[in-house]
Chains A and B, each alone.
Chain A
């Protein structure tokens, strides 16, 4: 060891030892001081219950087959669906011939290819397996399982989640009502069991899995800004593929600590509801999560576990008040599926909505029909939201903070946002000429 290194490390170690001696519980204090890594900006307020309340008499577990993907034929009519599909095929060919930017072969190939990791998993399948894949357990290593205080465990999990690609992470006590009652033709039940399992009739989640880790994954904003084209579709699929890697990695990490982990993306239950409980954002006009850091530019995923952790609280950053006056998503929606109502309500639009919670419910079959009609999917509501920003200038932070604290300014901010040209569709052709970050996202965004 060089003399300089001796002083550097020697004095450093002595310093740590002294400070440890003074504090007595240095490890715990370090975790507390580093908790700021995962805090929301100062203008975000923690609250006891989510702002858009739940009617406990009505809210219950949702049957996954009722969602729009599972029952589109029923909601839209099988003949209408066939006709839609025929039109979509015709349009696709026409767009190819025209070499229309955003709908060319290379654009579509990119959109399909970005699903590559997401396609490796499904409910208790592949990367989303409910049991361990390859990780060595503490038992196999001949050591005790991971033991720490709940706050240390929460910090550990949030750090690991960030490492695997989470933009933000929150922990909530699992509300069983957020979990589907059935999926893939099988009942999903909570039972006293050591490990999750699946047989011919049911899928069993151990009752000991009391915690839900909710995570956001940032989507590439330059892609989504090209909506509705295959380039924006590639943005969504990239988000899903990164979710897949994240939940698979985090679940294996938790199993490696000696605990149970059930990874999930859009399957198993409502990621939005879990994320709202875990304080990752608020429910917006689109009936989806809007995060204070990234707006709606996120995909959500979750991991259920029995590792005891400190739970986070729901948050309020004035989004509901903002959504009441903004309505940009509803104006930009080509299918007209987003509500224009001033106030959120308990009134659902159809069977595809889970009743019993207050929201601006959407007409999902119209949305999905437009995905087919456009031949490429659509993310207009995400692209135009004033909370969708790259945050490269301080003006966005000032506006967000002011909106959270002074709702009277919301209408003004919204009209300024429009005047400054935010939310306009970007050129898919230019996308190919832009010098993008890895995965199309700036991982430094929203990290303080």
Chain B
């Protein structure tokens, strides 16, 4: 942040450990279901493919929404 053109203030926000853990688990969860969807496609299992894909997309969107919500709350 600029203040009187004389110096910068850099704010580094330290997130709690559990947030990083949740992010890591979310990514692992997404990779798992993406792999399941691709594998099901290769196995010619349409229902397994659709279910895996839905779980993947719902998890992705929910995660992103929560992330954006967190950013919004932080800005306030």
Contacts and interface: CB of A to CB of B under 8 A. Distances in A.
Do A and B form a real pair?
A: yes
Interface stretch (A208-216, A237-245, A342-350, A386-394): A386-394
Contacts of B43: 389-390, 392-393
A222 interface: yes
B1 interface: no
Given A419-B51, A420-B51, A393 B44 contact: no
A424 B44 CA distance: 11
A395 B32 contact: yes
B51 A393 contact: no
B48 A392 contact: no
Interface in A378-415: 389-390, 392-395
Given A393-B36, A395-B36, A420 B42 contact: no
B30 to A, nearest CB: 14
B47 interface: yes
Contacts of A390: 42-43
A420 B44 contact: no
A421 interface: yes
A100 interface: no
A390 B48 CA distance: 13
A393 B39 CA distance: 5
B22 to A, nearest CB: 21
B37 to A, nearest CB: 8
A390 B47 CA distance: 15
Given A394-B39, A395-B39, A421 B45 contact: yes
B36 A421 contact: no
> Which of the four size classes fits the interface of chain B?
10 to 19
A437 B41 CA distance: 16
Interface of B is mostly: helix
Contacts of B48: 420-422
Nearest to B33: A395
A242 B32 CA distance: 36
B20 to A, nearest CB: 24
Nearest to A394: B35
A434 interface: yes
A162 interface: no
A390 B51 CA distance: 18
A421 B35 contact: no
Contacts, number: 38
A426 interface: yes
A217 to B, nearest CB: 21
Q: Among A393, A394, A419, which residue has the most Cβ atoms of chain B within 10 A?
A: A393
A68 to B, nearest CB: 33
A421 B47 CA distance: 5
Nearest to B42: A392
A401 B65 CA distance: 34
Contacts of A393: 35-36, 38-40, 42-43
Contact of A420 (B35, B38, B47): B47
A304 B65 CA distance: 65
Contacts of A389: 43
A434 B40 contact: no
Nearest to A398: B32
A221 to B, nearest CB: 9
A422 B43 CA distance: 10
Contacts of A424: 47
Nearest to A423: B45
Interface in A78-99: none
Contacts of A392: 39-40, 42-43
A395 B47 CA distance: 15
Nearest to B31: A394
B45 A422 contact: yes
Interface in B26-69: 32, 35-36, 38-40, 42-48, 51
Nearest to B37: A393
Interface string A152-168: 00000000000000000
Given A392-B39, A419-B51, 8 more contacts: A222-B44, A389-B43, A392-B40, A394-B32, A394-B39, A420-B45, A421-B51, A422-B45
25 contacts: A389-B43, A390-B42, A390-B43, A392-B39, A392-B42, A392-B43, A393-B35, A393-B36, A393-B38, A393-B40, A393-B42, A393-B43, A394-B32, A394-B35, A394-B36, A394-B39, A395-B36, A420-B48, A420-B51, A421-B45, A421-B46, A421-B48, A422-B48, A424-B47, A426-B44
| A-B interface, 7 closest residue pairs, ranked by CB to CB distance from nearest | A393-B39, A421-B47, A392-B39, A392-B42, A420-B48, A390-B43, A392-B43
